[in-house]
Chains A and B, each alone.
Chain A
Amino acid sequence: MSTVTNPLTPPAGGVAVSGRRRRVMPGFGLSLGYTVAWLSLIVLIPLAGVFVYSSKLGWSGLWAIWSEPRVLAALKISFGTALAAAAFNAVMGTLVAWVLVRYRFPGRRLFDAMIDLPFALPTAVAGIALTALYGGNGWIGRWLEAAGIKVAYTPLGITVALVFIGLPFVVRVVQPVLAETEGELEEAAATLGAGRWHTVWKVVLPAVWPAVLAGFALAFARGVGEYGSVIFIAGNIPMVSEIAPLLITIKLEEFDYAGATAIALAMLLLSFALLLVINTLQSRLAGRRGGK
């Protein structure tokens, strides 16, 4: 944090006022040039390629591809399962965060560390493991199938995989917020006569729900584009359990660049919109908490 006495003094990066900007901190030109150049080269120019290519198709061309039944189905499956998984994670993730923050039990630290496993584990490994676990012969799968619930090769299977992927997003966003809620608020509610359930519902949860929402959005965004952990358990049956990213690879193998790009564009646009929502949520979250 800047520790200058006068709160109006900006950090010594300098402010251009009357055209005479002299920076005290060195390295501005170099770091700006390098950052922008590298960013453009690796991210911006390649991404722009998608938009350029799409513009060649024109809106009518894009629309034609988007309305192909198989494409529509793939998009619906990708977004639908991601939504369901993110919603499930929002609930279970909050529960997990609550339990980790508020209670002490043997193995708590271990479980806390494990939360990051989906971040660290390669998606392909997760994919085959989940398939083996929930498939017809799997440790869990056999019980579920006996009960009539088929997980593998169905959208349910996709959702299960996405729950695995999205869990840390919710937990890691909610944990710090939960840890910071002041115990005094709950004590105040208790002195005013509120029962425990009431206190949790009315005092604690409202304080954390922006974080839950942010975690939900992050898990959703991640789930939409997920590939490696899904394609094994999904079975990839067109119109039933074929996700959009897989359809892109299929079209690429068929050299249908137009089709692949159109689907990619749809996903990009929707993801960017999501990112905007997430960023707004997160800045509102910071503002509400008093700019920590």
Chain B
Amino acid sequence: MAPQTGGNVHGVLALDPRELTMAEPAPAAHVRRTSPTSEPRWVQWLLIAAAIGFLLAFLLLPLVLVFAEALRGGIGAFLAAIREPDALAAVRLTLVVTAITVPLNLVFGVAAAWLVAKHEFPGKRILVSLIDLPFAVSPVVAGLVFILVFGAHGWAWPLIDEGVDLSLPLLGQVHVQLPKIVFALPGIVLATVFVTFPFIARELMPLMEQQGSDEELAALSLGAGGWQTFWRVTLPNIRWGLLYGVLLCGARAMGEFGAVSVVSGHIRGRTNTLPLHVEILYNEYAYSAAFAVASLLALSALVTLVLKTWLESRHGESLAAGHRH
């Protein structure tokens, strides 16, 4: 541990205010072996070559290929494919869906993490497992689920088709009718929210548990109210974890394919997100255009990766354990 108060021989009230200040001790570096308990050099290089070869073949080359194919027809063709109205509509839709999905899951993630990390109650483990459910569900099934509810034969269909008349106490007769959900924006948003549901919660829960409740209790003892404590004490402590979760959630939301494919109806220019647009172009053999649009997504994926790596290296200690390499 860091040595404490500078030595003083005059006792009590002469504690030196300019004593050494100490930063937090650095986390112990992992031991790397290049010693007698190590493989022979040639084995090491063989393994490295095998690993790199594998990664190149399966990870790097596909990525490179996307950009290569996108630019195959030249810059002109590339820009034309991107500026095409249906492509632009797809970009817009993807961004809109993401802009709605991420804040919704953000609020949920924060609420769920607060609940789980700062309180004890029976059934906590079950709740956490339930929150993980969307991870276990195939995206296509996720889409199917909403078709079963809001589709033409779904059990919520009457609410959409004709609506329902309710007499409410203060407002009198009210006609409640849901907008079209399947094959429209709300359905796409719902499916995307479903699929990205656990991301932010799973980032924040272990982080907040790690951080404990002492600072919040200290704030309470100093007279702060619940919301004050949350805004001033909790939120600043979790901001990097939040950013990380938002990043992952956003990346997944933009790229979601299976669930949206089922729910959207593939209406060109209206309900096609970017990934769906890529599929349409590809199926029409417009390969260059397909890859051009795909390269936009690939670019955003790279940006995500860069930000993610930056967050992990720069603010690793403010993220849940397991994100520090």
Q: Is the C-beta of A26 less than 8 angstroms from some C-beta in chain B?
A: yes
Cβ distance B264 to chain A, nearest Cβ, rounded Å: 12
CB within 8 Å of B: which A237-271 residues: 244-246, 248-249, 252, 255, 257, 260-261, 264, 267-268, 271
- The answer on a CB contact under 8 Å between B138 and A228 is no
Q: Is the C-beta of A126 less than 8 angstroms from some C-beta in chain B?
A: yes
The listed residue with most A CB atoms (<10 A of its CB), out of B31, B59, B190, is B59
CB within 8 Å of A: which B132-179 residues: 132-141, 144-149, 153-155
- The answer on a CB contact under 8 Å between A50 and B148 is yes
- The answer on a CB contact under 8 Å between B138 and A125 is no
Q: Is the C-beta of A132 less than 8 angstroms from some C-beta in chain B?
A: yes
Q: List 5 A-B contacts (CB under 8 A).
A: A11-B119, A39-B130, A111-B52, A228-B261, A264-B141
When chains A and B are docked, how far (Å) is the Cα of A103 from the Cα of B264? Answer: 47
- Given contacts A99-B51, A121-B297, A196-B39, whether A43 and B130 have CB atoms under 8 Å apart is yes
- The answer on a CB contact under 8 Å between A130 and B50 is no
- The answer on a CB contact under 8 Å between A125 and B148 is no
Cβ distance B306 to chain A, nearest Cβ, rounded Å: 8
When chains A and B are docked, how far (Å) is the Cα of A160 from the Cα of B58? Answer: 8
CB within 8 Å of A: which B172-224 residues: 190, 193-194, 197, 210, 212-214, 216-217, 220
- The answer on a CB contact under 8 Å between B230 and A27 is yes
DSSP majority for the B interface? helix
- The answer on a CB contact under 8 Å between B54 and A95 is yes
Q: Is the C-beta of A224 less than 8 angstroms from some C-beta in chain B?
A: yes
When chains A and B are docked, how far (Å) is the Cα of A108 from the Cα of B290? Answer: 32
Cβ distance B58 to chain A, nearest Cβ, rounded Å: 5
Cβ distance B150 to chain A, nearest Cβ, rounded Å: 9
CB within 8 Å of B: which A73-114 residues: 92, 95-96, 98-105, 107, 111-114
A179 (CB) vs chain B CBs: closest residue: B30
Q: Which of A27, A196, A226 contacts B37 (CB 8 A)?
A: A196
When chains A and B are docked, how far (Å) is the Cα of A34 from the Cα of B309? Answer: 33
Total cross-chain contacts (CB, 8 A): 305
When chains A and B are docked, how far (Å) is the Cα of A38 from the Cα of B136? Answer: 18
Which residues of the partner chain B approach A28 to less than 8 Å between Cβ atoms?
Answer: 115, 119, 121
Which residues of the partner chain B approach A272 to less than 8 Å between Cβ atoms?
Answer: 136
When chains A and B are docked, how far (Å) is the Cα of A122 from the Cα of B192? Answer: 13
The listed residue with most A CB atoms (<10 A of its CB), out of B69, B115, B130, B279, is B115
Q: Which of B61, B145, B225 contacts A47 (CB 8 A)?
A: B145
Which residues of the partner chain A approach B133 to less than 8 Å between Cβ atoms?
Answer: 43, 47, 275
When chains A and B are docked, how far (Å) is the Cα of A107 from the Cα of B140? Answer: 37
The 9 residue pairs across chains A and B that have the minimum distance between CB atoms: A225-B138, A122-B255, A26-B226, A228-B257, A227-B258, A129-B62, A245-B140, A13-B120, A31-B115
Cβ distance A137 to chain B, nearest Cβ, rounded Å: 11
User: A-side interface residues toward B, CB under 8 Å?
Assistant: 1-3, 10-15, 23-28, 30-32, 34-36, 38-39, 42-47, 49-50, 53, 92, 95-96, 98-105, 107, 111-126, 128-130, 132-133, 138-140, 160, 163-164, 167, 175-176, 179-180, 183, 186-187, 189-190, 196, 199-200, 221, 224-228, 232, 244-246, 248-249, 252, 255, 257, 260-261, 264, 267-268, 271-272, 274-275, 279
- Given contacts A117-B59, A248-B140, whether A125 and B30 have CB atoms under 8 Å apart is no
- The answer on a CB contact under 8 Å between A248 and B54 is no
- The answer on a CB contact under 8 Å between A25 and B118 is yes
- The answer on a CB contact under 8 Å between A271 and B112 is no
- The answer on a CB contact under 8 Å between A274 and B63 is no
- Given contacts A12-B213, A13-B120, A50-B145, whether A121 and B301 have CB atoms under 8 Å apart is yes
User: B-side interface residues toward A, CB under 8 Å?
Assistant: 30-33, 36-40, 44, 47-48, 50-52, 54-55, 57-63, 65-66, 69, 108, 111-112, 114-115, 118-121, 127, 129-141, 144-149, 153-155, 190, 193-194, 197, 210, 212-214, 216-217, 220, 225-226, 229-230, 248, 251-252, 254-258, 261-262, 274-276, 278-279, 282, 287, 290-291, 294, 297-298, 301-302, 304-306, 308-309, 322, 325
Cβ distance A263 to chain B, nearest Cβ, rounded Å: 9
Which residues of the partner chain B approach A257 to less than 8 Å between Cβ atoms?
Answer: 147-148, 153
- The answer on a CB contact under 8 Å between B282 and A116 is no
Which residues of the partner chain A approach B305 to less than 8 Å between Cβ atoms?
Answer: 113-114, 116-117, 120
When chains A and B are docked, how far (Å) is the Cα of A269 from the Cα of B1? Answer: 51
16 new A-B contacts at CB < 8 Å, known A103-B47, A111-B55, A275-B132: A26-B229, A34-B108, A35-B127, A50-B141, A102-B33, A103-B44, A107-B52, A122-B257, A123-B255, A123-B275, A176-B322, A225-B137, A225-B140, A248-B141, A264-B138, A267-B141
- The answer on a CB contact under 8 Å between B38 and A139 is no
B291 (CB) vs chain A CBs: closest residue: A128
- The answer on a CB contact under 8 Å between A96 and B51 is yes
Cβ distance A141 to chain B, nearest Cβ, rounded Å: 11
- The answer on a CB contact under 8 Å between B62 and A164 is yes
Q: Which of B40, B225, B282 contacts A128 (CB 8 A)?
A: B282
Which residues of the partner chain B approach A101 to less than 8 Å between Cβ atoms?
Answer: 30
When chains A and B are docked, how far (Å) is the Cα of A244 from the Cα of B262? Answer: 14
- Given contacts A120-B301, A120-B304, whether A114 and B55 have CB atoms under 8 Å apart is yes
The listed residue with most A CB atoms (<10 A of its CB), out of B225, B226, B294, is B294
